[in-house]
Structure 1
């Protein structure tokens, strides 16, 4: 059946998946049932038509009415077959998706190796003396996230892997770390020259191709991208919100409950939580024979260095500038190669320091694959939901209703809401890919103004990031929970309390800009000036809601702030005089030549 003929039914599989995920906390199962429901809906009319023909040939009375009932069961069976096809196609037909799967498995192997070789223990011990407060840990995670702007998946992997054990030692909840990582990674990637920018620029080009403008009248997609940045308000304010929360150490909603639990009990995950990965539980105790900081930091640095080198190499062509390199780079391949280099580095240290044989390292690598199985399963099913959305024409159905209410002033908000919904149903890139080529010609036809095109582009990006941050089936949300060791549903439930106010403030600022046009025209600088106002509004929201919620829950906010670090670890990390990381005599005085 052709896409776009399913109407309101096209939304049902998404609702089924999301509601079941929230109720059962079984994200993979919920997503598969959502895909199955999509398959059943996709084949229901074909099933009833087939049954009607068959029953009429048999001369059975009321064949059409009976086929409507029996069609549900036939469509269920047919839909199950279709759902398995979509699951396979979501990976098998996409080189990019397969590369992300391989990257996740390899990164799991690297994490397992670093744990087994004592690198995680070493960095946690080091952090005891250097990153000694939750505020410092939060700011470190936020700052590293800003620096790792080139790709959100790599960002989540690097920051989550680096900061997880440090934050655990300081009794920061895994939900809080997952929020810091998730609300920094995608937003900063969509504001800079990154893998996101490359995709965004191609979508802007596609949008302008749908207008009646000639090539000489069409502005540079890069110029439109730059002009869209101040209007990508959700991304900018989400990054600011993380800083406000970390610096003020004020939480509210589910996050306040999580932080109070972690501070009071040391339990960094909830009692019923199902962490996306639990390295200690699955890999056992590490080898503490010779824990070294470089076992942790060097592989991470290799990951970053090879990733950057891969981007420059794959995007380079004779005479190409930085802009052309960024646009033409193969980010997914660079991620895979960098992960291979990271694993190879851990193998080198295992051999160089005599901590594991090659055979033992291979076994550890395979165990690393296993700790990522849950996350990869959810990723695959989330991509499969994207197949359902495409087949049922969900995006076209939602966009069709939005078009009926468009005016230049509310165009921005409608585009943000539609983009958020489309991203919420699966993936922000899919939302941007579907909506940007529509929003660009609409903005141009309504106003004949390129600034409004940039506004529409910024609105698409803002909505897409917000949809990601509030969806339990978004790949970036899944990966943020994975690399921080958080429970996926707990991550979404805590983050949504911060994402919604940021989105509301962003919408308000967009409306002020839009309806203030008679005063200041369509000025980009007015949007820039409105952003500090948005930050002040978020400060007020955080301080107000945190106090109200703390009073309601009878929680003293002081109890969830930085505590005495020496009491925060289940196993105190006091160093003996001869410990390799102590200030005293080292066990191995051989100069490091590696």
Structure 2
């Protein structure tokens, strides 16, 4: 059943259960078990071993610790502790009150979040978690639902980062492009120049970012998002009472100090921001063996190590600020434990998402989907739209845009060179567009998990409410790529994408 149509069964079961039960841990667990049974030909002992090793290999494989995954989990726990101390100092409350006096409308609070998402483009993880901490007090005060906040964060993290060469994503993609250029001996091209040329062809990323601001301006609340926003605006209930378990939310075990000031929140977050960016530059320079450039720095940066160091210093500072405050204080251990407990749901989801990605890789779901592209006989002009759709399905089923980049970019490059070399740039860009689209809709996407965490939103509520917006951007993208196929003009394709996007928004708003 490996690398066949049946390899789609585990992600299908998992996604179906998510939609039917809204219990993400149960759904992920079911997908893992079904996938492991299929990989091991329904041998029970082999299945149990496969499940165990899919967990163990996240942290320890081939005689070495996987520091990357350990560091990300450590950072999530540090972030939970930081949130707890920012609450305990009264800094979050003081900042919320300060922001209310300056950001006076619901739209203003959402525009602030969207603009921060565009401005912080160096890494999607950093974007999702940092913007959540800054924006949440502002949007909470304006009764913006946490599901809406998660959408704003998620749709201005990956789409912005994938358009930027000076980012961890850009550096990774440029590295793959360099390999494609070398393999096909395309000596007239450079990897960085090719990436820059790809930007206007990434119709989905452009549409997704535009849709964020159109949705704010027109107050476009569609599908399940409408219920969340109406409830939040009417009663101030920001989270669905039927799904109260959200990552990053404290359960009332931390008492806010009445002497809190705005700097109690801003100083630790500033330390987190400055330390993380500084360490990303330092580790990137240290990892650049063949000469230091801006691109090589971001290509070789250690994002998770940088996040851990930034998080550690921010937590230490927040503890010091809490310790020197006057007034009655909650026990330090209790505040720390409340912060850790708040992040455990995100950690559980992330670990199970990583496990099912490993199972899906073993069963060959991604290889099966990629094989469809390789075997397709199609008019060369329609290559970008075909690649967009397959990349979208692959990222949706596997939960990873980066993994889809690694699989699909070389194949898209080979097909373009063979069919029509002038389609190389649009074909590669369609991979990026489709991967981000699929990632936006996938409940096992780590970027979506972290966006839920940063926003303090129930994860499934975030996915279900975001999908309609992602489909609007994807529909516009498909029609844009079809226009490009008919005209060979990126300008016409992009204009059609934007025009269709605006048209759909106006149509939905009028209805």
TM bracket (short chain) = over 0.9
* Residue 204 (structure 1) aligns with: 177
Residues 1:89 and 2:57 aligned together: yes
TM-score by length of 1: 0.81
4+ aligned runs moved over 6 Å, structure 1: none
Provide TM-score, normalisation by structure 2.
0.93
How much has 1:530 moved relative to structure 2? 4.1
Please say which structure displays the higher CA radius of gyration: 1
Instruction: For 1:463 and 1:420, locate their aligned partners in 2 and report how far apart those are by CA, in whole Å.
Output: 4
Q: How does 1:174-323 map to 2 (within 5 A)?
A: 174-192=146-164, 193-211=166-184, 213=185, 217=187, 219-277=189-247, 279-288=249-258, 290-316=259-285, 320-323=292-295
Q: For 2:355 and 2:337, how far apart are their aligned partners in 1?
A: 26
8 Å contact kept, 1:178–1:491 = yes
Q: CA 1:285–1:347 in structure 2 vs 1: closer, same or farther (change >3 Å)?
A: closer
How large is the Cα RMSD of the aligned pairs? 2.0
Matched, 1:26 2:20: no
Matches within 5 A, 1:191-590: 191-192=163-164, 193-211=166-184, 213=185, 217=187, 219-277=189-247, 279-288=249-258, 290-316=259-285, 320-354=292-326, 360-405=331-376, 406-425=378-397, 426-449=399-422, 452-517=423-488, 526-528=489-491, 530-548=493-511
Q: Give the Å deviation of 1:363.
A: 3.9
Instruction: Decide whether the 8 Å contact of 1:207 with 1:439 is kept in 2.
Output: no
Paired residues for 1:91-110 under 5 Å: 91-93=59-61, 94-110=66-82
Contact residue 93 and residue 260 of structure 2 kept, 8 A: yes
- Corresponding residue of 2:9: 12
**Take 1:335 and 1:437, find their aligned partners in 2: how far apart are those partners?**
31
Alpha-carbon distance, 1:407 to partner: 3.1
Cα separation, 1, equivalents of 2:57 and 2:472: 37
- CA shift, 1:6, in A, is 4.7
SS of match in other structure, 1:372: helix
Report if aligned partners of 1:210, 1:437 keep a CA contact under 8 Å in 2.
no
CA drift of 1:413 comes to 1.3
Distance change in 2, residues 1:35/1:313 (3 Å):
same
Structure 2 unaligned residues grouped into runs of 5+? none
| 3-state SS of 1:283 partner | coil
Partner Cα separation in structure 2 for residue 9 and residue 39 of structure 1: 13
Q: Gapped runs of 5+ residues in structure 1?
A: 45-71, 518-525, 549-594
**Residue 199 (structure 1) shift:** 1.2
1:128, CA displacement in angstroms? 2.0
Structure 2 CA distance for partners of 1:529 and 1:296, relative to 1, 3 Å? farther
Shift of 1:218: 5.8
Deviation at 1:538, TM superposition (A): 1.9
Q: How does 1:156-171 map to 2 (within 5 A)?
A: 156-171=128-143
- State the number of aligned residues: 501
Distance in 2, matches of 1:252 and 1:147, equals 27
CA deviation map 1:370-397 (0-9, x unaligned): 2111111111111111111211111111
**Displacement, 1:344?**
1.6
SS in 1 for 2:296: helix
